Structure 1
């Protein structure tokens, strides 16, 4: 089975909380990786997300250490939507 990792950037205008992360994370841009696997048996290429990871700290923070933390993709989407709704 083939696998791939796609990359995106999540922008938070305000501090946020996600399960699996220690405490409140500061506002900023965060690198997000999505691990996907190819679904066999269909007549066109289709991918299924199997894991989502966030890179800590935010892109603008200069730190000698960083970590990659597994997060729930649906929870990330909900947090981003909440952030956008409250950004006005």
Structure 2
């Protein structure tokens, strides 16, 4: 079984909330790591997402890493874009 990790950076223009968390997360750049495993038994190469981690940078507090639902993260990014439409919100600058 092949495993791979993709690292991206997401940018929030304002504080945001994610389902299942009692606190809001600060605006700014945050690193997202997505772990995927290959799907066995297919005639072509395919990967299935198995874990998505959000590395949250916080002012005046230690950074923290949380496991997130990718759909919840996408929804938070869409809400942020609706507020601030001139932002791109994602980049692959961490992945050469």
TM-score by length of structure 1 reads 0.83
Task: Give the structure 2 partner of residue 83 of structure 1.
Answer: 80
Q: CA RMSD in A?
A: 1.9
Determine if contact 1:16/1:27 at 8 Å carries over to the other structure. Answer: yes
Q: Distance in 2 between matches of 1:10 and 1:62?
A: 21
**Consecutive unaligned residues in structure 2, runs of 5 or more:** 86-96
Aligned length: 85
Structure 1 position 8, deviation (Å): 0.8
Q: Distance in 2 between matches of 1:66 and 1:40?
A: 36
**Consecutive unaligned residues in structure 1, runs of 5 or more:** none
Task: Give the structure 1 partner of residue 9 of structure 2.
Answer: 9
Determine if contact 1:20/1:70 at 8 Å carries over to the other structure. Answer: no
Task: Give the structure 2 partner of residue 38 of structure 1.
Answer: 38
Q: Does 1:72 align with 2:65?
A: no
Q: Distance in 1 between matches of 2:67 and 2:75?
A: 16
